[in-house]
Structure 1
Amino acid sequence: MSHTDMKMNSGGQKFQKRVMNPRVFKAYMLGKAPLLGVTGAYLEHLDTHSGRLILPASRRVKNLFGSLFSAALLAGAETLTGALIVLHMRNQGKKLSPRVTTCSVETLDWEFSDLKLVAHDGERYADFVRRVAASGIKESETFEVVASSGSTLTHRISLTWTLE
């Protein structure tokens, strides 16, 4: 991987600035992903190395049984990992089509409070984008998001993204 893949350039900075603005992010989510838009979720941090999304605990994310609506958790994880992929696409000036092909959730603990979803491995995201753009061949890779409530790890979410 090239070290320049991790340096933020103007394309990456423009995307980062847009999605880190809570009002712009919420408006975009309401239009493109209404489920996540109504939850009050927001990107707390995003750079070429990692990202963090906050999913507030509210009645908007509760299921019929009073626990977390899995769709809200998955929407948050997909948005977070998708934002990292798009950031690297914009940062490298590459036009690719990303989509999630599989996902899984492992619930480790549960308490109904705000969740912090974190994705690391920015270098893997950058390399994934670079490899697919260079080869022109469709490829898939799995990324992990961990969710926590305070200091308690609550979920591990795996999403397999395909780029072409």
Structure 2
Amino acid sequence: MWTENLAMCDWANRIDYDKWTQHQDGGRRFSHMTTNISECVNSVLKGTRNLPVITLVKSTYGRLAELFVIRGQTAEAQLASGAKFCQFFMKTMNRNLRVSRCFTITLFDRHQSEYTVPETTSTRNFLLGMYRVFLRDRTCDCGYFQTLHYSCCHAVACCAQSQLDWSVYVDEVHTM
């Protein structure tokens, strides 16, 4: 039978909710962009799950040490080249830039930075969706802007329309 431990409840209630509840974390989990850390661990442990514990620990340590060296060298090379953002992020943003060129933007409120972005088929005969973008609030009806903490293709199109730099709407977590 399960009983409530009052001391444990009191201890948990003294911790800030954003530290242990996903619904209060503001879109991030301990400053990480994903809450699925277990997927990272699973990729490191791939192929070692049935090994004895000591071998599993040594294998995990070796694999992580190898990955840290590779990632460190990649990051250093990108920093040395003067990159502000990593290559993976820039690949995503280049896609957003390409897609954003196809939109027709309407500015509704210059002071609030409110735009509407109709998404149509390539022949412009069929409306796929209508999105509202609030650059000042960093939100878009598509949900990607506020979830990923960088400009979605709709926000990039709005920036281009108003001759704004899209990179100012990128959260610092994505910078080198």
TM superposition score normalised by structure 2 = 0.24
Q: Which has the higher helix share?
A: 2
Radius of gyration: which is bigger? 2
Bigger relative contact order, structure 1 or 2, given CA contacts below 8 A and separation 6+?
Answer: 1
TM superposition score normalised by structure 1 = 0.26
Q: Which has the higher strand share?
A: 1
